[in-house]
Chain A
């Protein structure tokens, strides 16, 4: 897969291909080590730190950053914001690949990956938040696959079945919103069970709401961020409509992100007030919390607002990238940095380089797949003969 040049078919020694190639080779080696030597051979996980970056980054960040799919399709098909229509396909593709890779990453992390269906077919642990997460992610991946499938069908020329799938759009979108609401928030709720391990500034009974709201923010920002990159690399693939609507998408989504970030900021402050955690702000963890709150929530909110007011898309794009970073930081804080805050430094977790290799490997797979699809299938343009609203 890595040997796909930008011009379809032929292998080219572009820098992207070379870097991707090296990463894939390393990834394959670590994969072999993982499945022959166990988690102990390639990770720094311990009994105190059972979850590392494969959960903190690959699962938590992966799912949050894939929220663009449900956010965009809801905006267009439910809220009727047709002017963002051309943003739907790239967003759905990003989301579909994102979730598929999350599930792939889980195969590395869990002890016996072939048992991943057990919670549904063998014994249902319905008292577990993780059960809800698993069920929703599995269902939503299916929904995303169906939502994405018309693209492939157009490419393959399967006109009839595509027509049937298109008719399901509204139903699928509603499904997607329900499932996303459930599992985005539940990923946060996973940590509700460990009040003694997560630092009080991050532990809050609102944590499911924080996760959901920040996922919406992540989704909006990722659409902008992804479109920035796509304009650089797939400009030639974009049709008139896509190019014409793109500025509107950036402005509109930027505005929505500014409002949502403002709400998120308020919710965070309310959370601190509700648990009366003010005194923690004077500690080291408090300073770090303020870095996240002011530097990665308030600041991008402000930059978004200025960008929208001045219709400055460059500023909005910077805000989007910064927000995405902020979401990553937040998920890291909750799952790794503020988690196990009570343990002595010697017992704390820091990822092994081979864990990083796998995470980078999986992201690279995502990029390669995205490029493979975007250069061949109608993602940034309407396929000829299919000009109905999809």
Chain B
């Protein structure tokens, strides 16, 4: 089932490779998206993988990656669980314990080229692009190096050049996009000595995979990993053991990554639209409350002043009254005195004596 060169070139035509239109991962966030039609993928049948690491070697060569510490024909490295790293876009891992008698299973790991990639949706400078042909490509010329794509990728694929001081890049499998352009197979697929890796149009690969499961129901787990995981991936897997035993998580669900954050992003216009209105409203209310309070205060002050005035007026009136009374009393007294004195004078005159005129002065003053 290895795809021959000629057949492959035929597909290139079918997929219209001449027109490479990049598209942001979110172009399809609205509505259902089941991948670009006729996009390519790779089917990895782990039951056929012999763990020879030739794919690792080919990948290293076609991508001109640095020479590894241990040569590719050293199969001892399979004893450790490895992951992709800055100098290594793909690794083959060995799973299964020899203890229970079953032969080990080998699985090649690399970017799965998701149909709606988490990495692309997470990147705030759109460094990743899901191309219509299948590869998720990366553009180092815009990457800021925030590493949010690494947080986002559910398959823990993107790696970072931690030792680069000034120009660190994200590194990951490219699905050999540059080779596809030239009509070549991905390096790893090309070299694979068994049929563990098959390249082709994803739809066709799904058919092939289903066919294998139908033909050998005893051999395969009846599930094509990557058909729906995280909204589907371009890289597909078949296995003879449950997928989480060969390092593929079964709890990822089928929700495409962009959907996970769509709700939060969708609330932005709501906040931007509602807050100013609400806040201005609250401001107006508090302002009005202040105004009413101020008015009430002013009113209270006026009232108090009025009362004070009234009170003081009453007091003044009383005082005037008092003064008047006192004055009258005094006048009366003076008059009385004067009259008495006059009487006495008359009496004295009558008796021939001279009188005192003092009290009459006092009467004037009053």
Q: Which residues of A contact B (CB under 8 A)?
A: 35-41, 43, 45-48, 50-51, 74, 77-80, 109-112, 115-116, 118-119, 122-132, 134, 170, 173-174, 177-178, 181-182, 185-186, 189-197, 205, 208
Contacts and interface: CB of A to CB of B under 8 A. Distances in A.
B268 interface: yes
A127 B143 contact: no
Contacts of B85: 47
A119 B271 contact: no
B345 interface: no
A51 B279 contact: no
Nearest to A117: B144
Contact of A112 (B126, B143, B265, B280): B143
A112 B142 CA distance: 10
Interface of B: 24-26, 29, 83-86, 118, 120-127, 142-148, 150-152, 154, 156, 158-169, 249, 251-253, 257-258, 260-261, 263-265, 267-268, 271-272, 275-276, 279-280, 282-283, 286-287, 289-290
B279 A189 contact: no
Given A122-B125, A193-B122, A208-B264, A177 B279 contact: yes
Contact of A115 (B121, B142, B159, B163): B142
Contacts of B272: 178, 182
B83 A174 contact: no
Given A123-B126, A177-B275, A45 B162 contact: yes
A194 B147 CA distance: 13
Given A119-B125, A122-B125, A193-B152, A40 B163 contact: yes
A215 to B, nearest CB: 14
A193 B146 CA distance: 15
Contacts of B251: 196
A132 to B, nearest CB: 6
A50 B168 CA distance: 13
Contacts of A196: 154, 249, 251-252
Instruction: From B84, B123, B167, B272, name the one whose CB has the most chain A CB atoms within 10 angstroms.
Output: B123
Nearest to B276: A174
20 contacts: A35-B166, A40-B162, A47-B160, A50-B150, A80-B287, A110-B146, A111-B145, A111-B164, A111-B169, A122-B125, A122-B142, A127-B120, A127-B265, A128-B148, A129-B122, A174-B279, A177-B275, A192-B261, A195-B253, A196-B249
Given A50-B151, A128-B123, A178 B260 contact: no
Given A122-B125, A181-B271, A38 B162 contact: yes
Given A38-B162, A119-B125, A193-B152, A129 B261 contact: yes
B147 A127 contact: no
Contacts of A51: 147, 151
Contacts of B26: 126-127
A205 B259 CA distance: 12
A201 to B, nearest CB: 15
Given A47-B85, A47-B150, A177-B275, A35 B123 contact: no
Given A40-B162, A178-B275, 13 more contacts: A38-B166, A43-B162, A51-B151, A80-B287, A110-B145, A115-B145, A125-B124, A127-B258, A130-B122, A130-B123, A177-B279, A193-B260, A194-B154
Contacts of A74: 279
A37 B123 CA distance: 25
A170 B283 contact: yes
Instruction: From A50, A182, A195, name the one whose CB has the most chain B CB atoms within 10 angstroms.
Output: A50
A128 B124 contact: yes
A112 B25 contact: no
Nearest to A112: B145
Nearest to B29: A127
Given A174-B276, A192-B261, A112 B151 contact: no
Contacts of A191: 151
Contact of B161 (A38, A43, A129, A174): A38
Contact of A193 (B118, B124, B144, B145): B118
A37 B160 contact: no
Nearest to A36: B165
Closest CB pairs A-B (n = 7): A111-B145, A80-B286, A40-B162, A50-B147, A189-B264, A127-B26, A131-B124
Instruction: From B29, B261, B282, name the one whose CB has the most chain A CB atoms within 10 angstroms.
Output: B261
A197 B151 CA distance: 8
B144 A124 contact: no
A116 B144 contact: yes
Nearest to A133: B124
B125 A118 contact: yes
Nearest to A80: B286
B268 A130 contact: no
A339 B142 CA distance: 28
A39 B160 CA distance: 10
A208 to B, nearest CB: 5
Given A178-B272, A193-B118, A77 B283 contact: yes
A122 to B, nearest CB: 6
Nearest to A39: B162
Given A125-B126, A196-B251, A80 B145 contact: no
B276 A178 contact: yes
A193 B261 contact: yes
Contacts of B265: 127, 129, 132, 189
Contacts of A194: 118, 151-152, 154
A48 B156 contact: yes
A78 B148 contact: no
A110 B144 contact: yes
Nearest to A205: B263
Contact of B160 (A111, A134, A186): A111
B124 A134 contact: yes
Contacts of B152: 193-194
B324 to A, nearest CB: 51
A132 B145 contact: no
A80 B280 CA distance: 12
B264 to A, nearest CB: 4
A125 B160 contact: no
Contacts of A192: 260-261, 263-264
A47 B275 contact: no
Instruction: From B120, B123, B148, B158, name the one whose CB has the most chain A CB atoms within 10 angstroms.
Output: B148
Nearest to B152: A193
B163 A41 contact: yes
Contacts of B253: 195
Contacts of B267: 185, 208
Contacts of A109: 146
Contacts of B163: 37-38, 40-41
Contacts of B264: 129, 185-186, 189, 192, 208
